[in-house]
Amino acid sequence: MSWNDLIFAIGDFISGTFEVLKIGENYVNWFYTAVIFVILVGWLAMQAKYNKEAEQTGGLK
């Protein structure tokens, strides 16, 4: 097996993953958008909790 065979095999694998995305159509985009939104809301909720705690204690622990 040469380097070219390895590189082309990796390229074929990556191209195949894009075929899976085509099957999902636009639902894949909506899924990732929803996941990012949920993570962002969770992150902001945690940050609000930490800010409130920092105000009560006078700073970071």
Residue in the block written with tokens 């990012």? 36
What pLDDT score does 1 carry? 76
7 — pLDDT class (breaks 50, 70, 90): very high
pLDDT reading at 2 higher than 90:
no
Q: What is the pLDDT of residues 16-43, one digit of tens each?
A: 988 888 888 889 899 999 999 999 999 9
- If one counts every other C-beta atom within 10 angstroms of the C-beta of residue 46, the result is 10
Instruction: List the domain boundaries for the chain.
Output: 25-61
Give the tokens for residue 53: 């705690």
What pLDDT score does 61 carry? 57
> Radius of gyration of the chain from Cα atoms?
22
